[in-house]
Structure 1
Amino acid sequence: MTIGVKPPAWFWIVAILLVAWNAIGVYFCVGQIQHGAMSAMWEQTPYHRALYATLPAWYNWCYAVATFGGLLGALALLLKEKRARVLFWISLIAVIVQFGYTFSITDIIAHEGAAKVVPFPVFIALVAAFSIWFAGMATRKGWIGAR
Structure 2
Amino acid sequence: MRPPRWYRLLVGMLLLWAALSAYACVTQLMAGAGAAADPADRALLAALPGWYWLDYAVASLGLLVGALALLLRRRVAVPALTVSLVAALIQFGWLFAMTDLLARRGAGTLFFPLLILLVGAVALQLAHLAARRGWIG
Length-normalised TM-score, structure 2: 0.96
Does the CA contact (< 8 Å) of 1:66 and 1:91 recur in 2? yes
Shift of 1:37: 5.2
Instruction: Select 2:114's aligned residue among 109, 113, 122.
Output: 122
Amino acid at match of 2:82: W
Q: CA RMSD in A?
A: 1.2
> Structure 1's 77 and 37: CA in aligned 2 closer, same or farther, altered over 3 A?
farther
Deviation digits for residues 93-130 of structure 1 (CA, Å, limit 9, x no counterpart): 0000100110000000111111x211110110010000
| 1:59-98 mapped onto 2 (5 Å cutoff) | 59-98=52-91
Q: Which residue in the other structure is 1:18 paired with?
A: 14
More helix by percentage? 2
Deviation digits for residues 66-104 of structure 1 (CA, Å, limit 9, x no counterpart): 001000000000010111011000000000010011000
Does the CA contact (< 8 Å) of 1:65 and 1:94 recur in 2? yes
The reply on whether 1:135 has 2:127 as its aligned counterpart is yes
Gaps of 5+ in 2: none
Identity %: 44
How many matched pairs? 137
State the alpha-carbon separation in 1 of the partners of residues 65 and 78 from structure 2: 10
Moved over 4 A (4+): none
Length-normalised TM-score, structure 1: 0.90
Larger radius of gyration: 1
Shift of 1:24: 0.3
Does the CA contact (< 8 Å) of 2:18 and 2:60 recur in 1? yes
Does the CA contact (< 8 Å) of 1:82 and 1:139 recur in 2? yes
Q: Which residue in the other structure is 2:97 paired with?
A: 104
Does the CA contact (< 8 Å) of 1:32 and 1:38 recur in 2? no
Gaps of 5+ in 1: none
Does the CA contact (< 8 Å) of 2:33 and 2:43 recur in 1? no
Does the CA contact (< 8 Å) of 2:33 and 2:46 recur in 1? no
Does the CA contact (< 8 Å) of 1:22 and 1:71 recur in 2? yes
